[in-house]
A and B are shown apart, each in its own frame.
Chain A
Amino acid sequence: MLVIENLFADIGSKSILKGLSLTVNAGEVHAIMGPNGAGKSTLAKLLAGHEDYLVTGGSVSYRGEDLLAMPTELRARSGVFLGFQYPVEIPGVSNTTLLKAAVNAKLKHEGKPEMDAGGFLAFVKQKVKQVAMEPKMLQRGVNEGFSGGEKKRNEILQMLVLEPTLMLLDETDSGLDIDALKVVADGINALRGPERATVLVTHYQRLLDYVKPDFVHVLAGGRIVKSGGPELALELEEKGYGWLEAA
């Protein structure tokens, strides 16, 4: 589904990704771990289409298409979803407005008719329940005044509503209490399936107890320096990253 080959990317004059390769097949869950500043968020935002990053080498294909040639919104409509490490607050644009515009953009892209207001509301309400959010938060500005945990729940809500094909979750588990962590994990698991794939950027084994990864990778110095099975996460938790970077 996602094939990243020898990717190099800069921000400003600084090179961040330095020959990163990663293949994610449909049905798989990959966890990416690694020290702060390694380039994990850079990778996630670059895949979502952020224009601050300049790709200087390599390629990314998504379902056989050149992902890097697609504008951000087209990636989203084609099923790429990024759960942001730091979701922005957008006062004046309500969560409902965003969800409705996002769903309709996707339906339109798929050549399907827009949802009617009633159907949309019922659909969203059910998802809101799933992430244990207060329904009245839908009327608030996007993430406006939300706590860290509420912002992450809101990311999961958007993901559940959009039903993406490729889920990229950047530290969605950071700073969550156990209840919120379960909500996030349940959300991811609810969408898990043979047609979909998930890439979890995380620092903690904790999330991986709830969402069992097929593969665990270590991203350090702008590359994947080690890959393994779920046991690698346990090993990292125990030993840290120092032993890998030295190698």
Chain B
Amino acid sequence: MNFFDSCRNSLPQDQHAQRIDAFARFEASGWPTPALESWHYSDWSSLAEKPFNIAKPALDPVFAPDRAQPLALVALDPVQTATSFALDALNRAFAKQGVDKTIDGHAQIPFLITHALAGEQVMRHLRHRLALSAGSRATVVIWDAPGIDDSDTLLTAVLTLTLAAGSHLTLIRVQDADARATRAMHLKAHIEADATLEMIQLDFGGARVRQETEITLAAPGARFEQTGLAALTGKSRVDQRSHVWHAAPRCISRSSARLLAAGSSRAILNAKVQVQPGAAKTDSETRIASLLLSDKAEIDAKPELEIYADDVQCAHGATFGQLDEDAAFYLRSRGLSAAEAQSLLTQAFAQTALDRIPLPGLKNWVEQRVSTLLVANAA
């Protein structure tokens, strides 16, 4: 039985007509393939042959590194705005729940959204909405947790974010899905005057992962700061696409990503900044650094810049490298094994991203995660 036949009859009963309609739209477009303009590198068409069942409700695993306050899932508002996400219709057809939260004031404890799934060939679809009111501050962790049994799962999530004037959100996304998992997440953020979205994106797992980020810097002084780290092994494949629109004057965007690929993994990052007419005094910088740890791994990193305004300051760049051999020799000349040298240098490569993680427990956890991943890779 293929995907569409297997789940056609499991559409939730509420808002049934809209769901049938959304499902039909998804079936018509099909799973994304490189034929889609923004899916150059990923082909998910084989998922059409795979049946998935809707996951049964289960307790979320505990996020251990830091104290965090889970955000409750609530029934979805029937009115949903469509996004450019290629899986939007699929998500719309099945999503029954999501976080719907407006944050006021200064939240001291980080909020937590857990994306977890257990069971073989099960799927889950979530649709979240987060808003920060003017002047508020918060940290939100979205944790894509590993399952207990390394199973084949599918999860899609859409997150709509609105940051009102002067608010500040630190959004940390930790993607640590199982080696056979499929994950797709679409984030759409609207940032108002003098508000800041600081985003930290950490990717470690997943067989098929798609991360989309669409940011609109909508009013003067809006700011977006992104730090990314992907440390991939095995057959993991993570395809990230981020698009930042500078739609108003005097906005700032900073994006710094570190991509590490070992085994026969593949990391893809397309980071586009578009400066729209009238967005004078835009200040934007995109840096991508890639490090291949195996000749079977692959990294495709592409920063893009489109400027339709005058008086802007924009920079972008991508560096690509193997480990520094002189540094490796230096470490070995002090008695460290080649594997230890490689592990330390790789950790060092990731460190600039790790240093940006504001939660001490999580930072420590990620450091351990990167180093064990590298040790396993070296062995």
A-to-B contact residues, CB < 8 Å: 48-51, 71-73, 75-77, 81-82, 84, 87-88, 90-93, 97-98, 101-102, 105-106, 109, 141-142, 158, 162
Could you tell me the distance between the alpha carbons of A227 and B145 in the complex, rounded to whole angstroms?
68
Are B326 and A102 neighbours in the complex by a CB distance under 8 Å?
A: no
Pair B345/A90 contact, Cβ less than 8 Å: yes
- Which of A75, A81, A105 meets B336, CB within 8 Å? A105
Contact A76 B348 (CB under 8 A): no
- Minimum CB–CB distance from B366 to chain A (whole Å) comes to 14
- Least Cβ–Cβ distance between B370 and chain A, in angstroms: 12
- What residues of B have a CB within 8 angstroms of the CB of A73 in the complex? 332-333, 335-338
> Are the C-beta atoms of A92 and B347 separated by less than 8 Å?
yes
Is the Cβ of A102 less than 8 Å from the Cβ of B335? yes
**Contact of B344 with A72 in the complex, beta carbons under 8 Å:** no
With A88-B324, A88-B326 as contacts: A77 and B335 at CB distance below 8 Å = yes
Docked-complex contact A105 and B337, CB < 8 angstroms: yes
Mark B residues whose CB is within 8 Å of A: 324, 326-327, 329-338, 340, 344-345, 347-349, 351-352
In the complex, the answer to whether A98 meets B333 with C-beta atoms within 8 Å is: no
CB atoms of B331 and A93 under 8 A apart? yes
| A75 to B347 Cα, complex, angstroms | 25
- Min CB–CB distance B270 → chain A (angstroms): 26
Q: Which 5 residue pairs across A and B have the least CB separation, nearest first?
A: A92-B348, A105-B335, A76-B335, A102-B334, A92-B351
Q: Chain B residues with Cβ under 8 A from A75's Cβ?
A: 333
Given contact pairs A84-B330, A87-B330, A88-B326, A93 touches B348 in the complex (Cβ within 8 A): yes
A49 adjacent to B330 (CB under 8 Å): no
CA distance A189 to B345 in the complex (A): 33
A142 neighbours in B (Cβ, 8 Å): 330
- Given the complex of chains A and B, what is the CA–CA distance between A75 and B335 in angstroms? 8
A-B contact count (CB 8 A): 78
Overall SS of chain B's interface: helix
Whether A72 pairs with B340 at a CB distance below 8 angstroms is no
CA distance A81 to B332 in the complex (A): 11
A235–B281 Cα gap in the complex (Å)?
A: 66
- Centre residue among B326, B334, B349, B351 by max chain A CB count within 10 A: B334
Q: How far is the CB of A196 from chain B (nearest CB, A)?
A: 17
Contact of B334 among A50, A91, A98, A141 (CB under 8 A): A98
Residues of B within 8 A of A93 (CB): 327, 331, 344-345, 347-348
Docked-complex contact B347 and A48, CB < 8 angstroms: no
* Cα-based distance from A162 to B334 in the complex (angstroms): 8
Contact call A72/B333, Cβ cutoff below 8 A: yes
Complexed CA–CA distance, A57 and B99 (Å): 72
Question: Among the listed A49, A92, A98, A109, which residue makes an inter-chain contact with B331, where contact means beta carbons less than 8 Å apart?
Answer: A98
How many angstroms from the CA of A158 to the CA of B333 in the assembled complex? 11
26 contacts between A and B (CB under 8 A): A49-B333, A72-B332, A72-B333, A73-B333, A75-B333, A77-B335, A84-B333, A90-B330, A90-B331, A90-B345, A91-B351, A92-B347, A92-B348, A93-B327, A93-B331, A93-B345, A93-B347, A93-B348, A98-B344, A101-B331, A101-B335, A101-B336, A102-B334, A106-B335, A109-B335, A158-B334
Structural contact, A49 and B345, CB atoms closer than 8 A: no
Q: In the bound complex, do residue B329 and residue A50 qualify as a contact, i.e. CB atoms below 8 Å apart? A: yes
> Across the interface, do B324 and A97 meet the contact criterion of CB distance under 8 Å?
no
Q: Which residues of A contact B348 (CB under 8 A)?
A: 90-93, 141
Known contacts A88-B327, A90-B327, A92-B351, A76 near B334 by CB under 8 Å: yes
